[in-house]
Chains A and B, each alone.
Chain A
Amino acid sequence: MAILGAINPILTVGWDGDAAWRLQDYVKRGGYKALARIFEDRISPDQLIGEIKKSGLRGRGGAGFPTGLKWSFMPKDFKDGKYIVCNTDEGEPGTFKDRDILRCNPHAVIEGMVIAAYAVGAARGYNYIHGEIWDMYKRFEEALDEARAAGFVGQDILGSGFDFELFAHHGYGAYICGEESALLESIEGKKGQPRFKPPFPASVGLYGKPTTINNTETFAAVPFVLNMGAEAYLEAGKPNNAGTKLFSVSGHVNRPGNYEIPLGTPFATLLEMAGGMRGGRKLKACIPGGSSAPVLPAEVIMDCTLDYDAISKAGSMLGSGAVIVMDETTCMVKALERLSYFYHEESCGQCTPCREGTGWLYGIVHRIEHGAGRPEDLDLLRGITANIMGRTVCALGDAASMPVQGFLKHFRDEFEYHVENGKCLVPPEVQRAGSTFFKATV
């Protein structure tokens, strides 16, 4: 589907045509120039990390952690093999940008990873690719073959004396592997169960060695940051929210898909770019940063700009930039029921509060949705989330709890109606109209 719209695009320029992903096309668009310049101008790893820090680039996987700072955590004097890992285990409901990055511009990811490897002194890297996107895994492997043949990956890259081997690792269906330490366990050939932190991966990562893990979009941005210069990249967004970002828009809009916009762009602008509300219906709510982010009601999100600070101030998270749009046909209890089922299914089972708690959350929301809710259930749900959050090894417990808190905070009346009347505030025929499955009803 590629990119459906953009404002001042950086990452997605030239994403046209079936061959745009090929090495030849990428080079024509200025690809691998940033890497070549590093070696030609003898830019040191420290200078490079300084430039990325100055650009204000923040991790695009969800947490928004400053990329340059993350790179600087890697021990410089460690000589026994360090790793670079790319997280393309894109499974956060609503997020589908990394798939299109691999589809349309895999070489930007490769170039970004080679540059990162040089900056932190890593000799080997892996791109962990989501299990369900087999075609993209094959494409990335093909792009890697091209890059190796052209001398951008492998021994003595561009005659610099720098060696870096890069491989693709194919996942096989586990949301939790998007959590960086679970992802490392998975590459090591184990169940994807998160590790206790600290130590963080920069100290003890893949095979026990220092490891830097970044999201696909973060690596893809690196060559562009260096080509345009840190300051220009910083200015492409707004203070503390540098650059552009890919936003995946899904749900009740006319043109669901990926859009590249500067951070700080109003939500209303993105909604308009996505063709507005499907069937001209009214916006009810929006989950602005992937399913783990608290839902925001229409009146709140319509006043927001899309950047880390504004969304956080509104009580949610920018996360991965997955914007799930819901119109007035949506039953909020049913929406939460499906999300709670997901987290229960995907809990790795390691920590009791998450393993048991997510089952309770789903069970209670399920009974409310099915007309068997009890008046005390809403308080019970809140209590369970409070007992999960902060009491688990990884953030999945929090990710399961935040939607529950968000839905209850903003749409408590719908849950109460369900409990009192044993049925939904939004009549079934109205809900059915929201689905595009039956074309006749749209």
Chain B
Amino acid sequence: MLTKESIQKIDREIAKYPAGQKQSAVMAALAIAQEELDWLPGEAIEFVANYLGMPPIAAYEVASFYNMYDLEPVGRHKLTVCTNLPCLLSGGVDAAGYLKSKLGIGFNETTPDGRFTLKEGECMGACGDAPVLLVNNRRMCGRMQPEEIDKLLEDLE
């Protein structure tokens, strides 16, 4: 189901925990699976569960509890915009509105060409850089005003 490279990454995570505590690596393993597959289909969750020797339902509980896992397909670039209060005070909601009108989609929607998915995020711990958005869970972008957003969208093929 996953490439050798992904399995190696998961093994490296398992090694961080004491013997008999493989389940501790489930968060990282699901993240690694999502990184490879772009989202988490049920088979991937089941594969991870079996690999770690835990019940599939327990892995599904984790995948559905933490909000950075995508249980449905997303576009090539998932943009998660923080609209929480500190960001709101410095334009976070306006940034989200700008993205919505520019991409022609709402939160939890994907552009018809499959390029972008827009999500509303909660505090990312970067309030000093507001407005803040996250690209594909990894890349944090701060001070996102109209020109910066325009440039980002151009750069993301």
Q: Contact size class for B? A: 35 or more
Q: With a CB–CB cut-off of 8 A, which chain B residues contact A95?
A: 123, 125, 127
The reply to whether A94 and B127 contact each other, CB–CB distance below 8 Å, is yes
Task: Assess whether A335 is interfacial by the CB under 8 Å rule.
Answer: yes
Task: Assess whether B105 is interfacial by the CB under 8 Å rule.
Answer: no
Pick from B89, B121, B138: contact of A252, CB under 8 Å: B89
B59 to chain A, nearest CB (A): 8
Please, how many angstroms separate the alpha-carbon atoms of A439 and B91 in the complex? 10
Count A interface residues, CB 8 Å. 65
Stretch of A154-162, A167-175, A354-362 at the chain-chain interface = A167-175
16 extra interchain contacts, Cβ-Cβ under 8 A, other than A189-B23, A189-B52, A324-B86? Answer: A81-B18, A91-B124, A91-B125, A93-B84, A95-B123, A131-B68, A134-B138, A189-B54, A207-B21, A249-B128, A250-B89, A250-B90, A291-B85, A325-B89, A435-B89, A437-B131
- Residue in chain A with minimal CB distance to B136: A134
Pick from A1, A94, A256, A258: contact of B85, CB under 8 Å: A94
Q: With a CB–CB cut-off of 8 A, which chain B residues contact A197?
A: none
The reply to whether B125 and A330 contact each other, CB–CB distance below 8 Å, is no
- A99-B91 CB under 8 A given contacts A189-B54, A190-B62: no
The reply to whether B86 and A342 contact each other, CB–CB distance below 8 Å, is no
A-B contacts counted at CB < 8 A amount to 184
Please, how many angstroms separate the alpha-carbon atoms of A360 and B112 in the complex? 36
Within A310-343, the residues touching B (CB, 8 Å) are: 322, 324-326, 330, 334-335, 338-339, 342
Task: Assess whether B94 is interfacial by the CB under 8 Å rule.
Answer: yes
Which residues of chain B have a CB within 8 Å of any CB of chain A?
16-18, 21-28, 30-31, 52, 54, 58, 61-62, 65-69, 83-86, 88-91, 93-95, 98, 121-131, 134, 137-140, 145-146
Please, how many angstroms separate the alpha-carbon atoms of A345 and B122 in the complex? 9
The reply to whether A91 and B122 contact each other, CB–CB distance below 8 Å, is yes
The reply to whether B68 and A191 contact each other, CB–CB distance below 8 Å, is no
User: Which of B65, B69, B138 has its CB near the most chain A CB atoms (within 10 A)?
Assistant: B65
The reply to whether A98 and B85 contact each other, CB–CB distance below 8 Å, is no
- Residue in chain A with minimal CB distance to B30: A172
**A86-124, CB under 8 A of B: which get 1 and which 0?**
000011111110110000000000000000000000001
- Residue in chain B with minimal CB distance to A166: B16
The reply to whether A188 and B23 contact each other, CB–CB distance below 8 Å, is yes
User: Which of B69, B85, B131 has its CB near the most chain A CB atoms (within 10 A)?
Assistant: B85
Pick from B16, B30, B68, B145: contact of A437, CB under 8 Å: B145
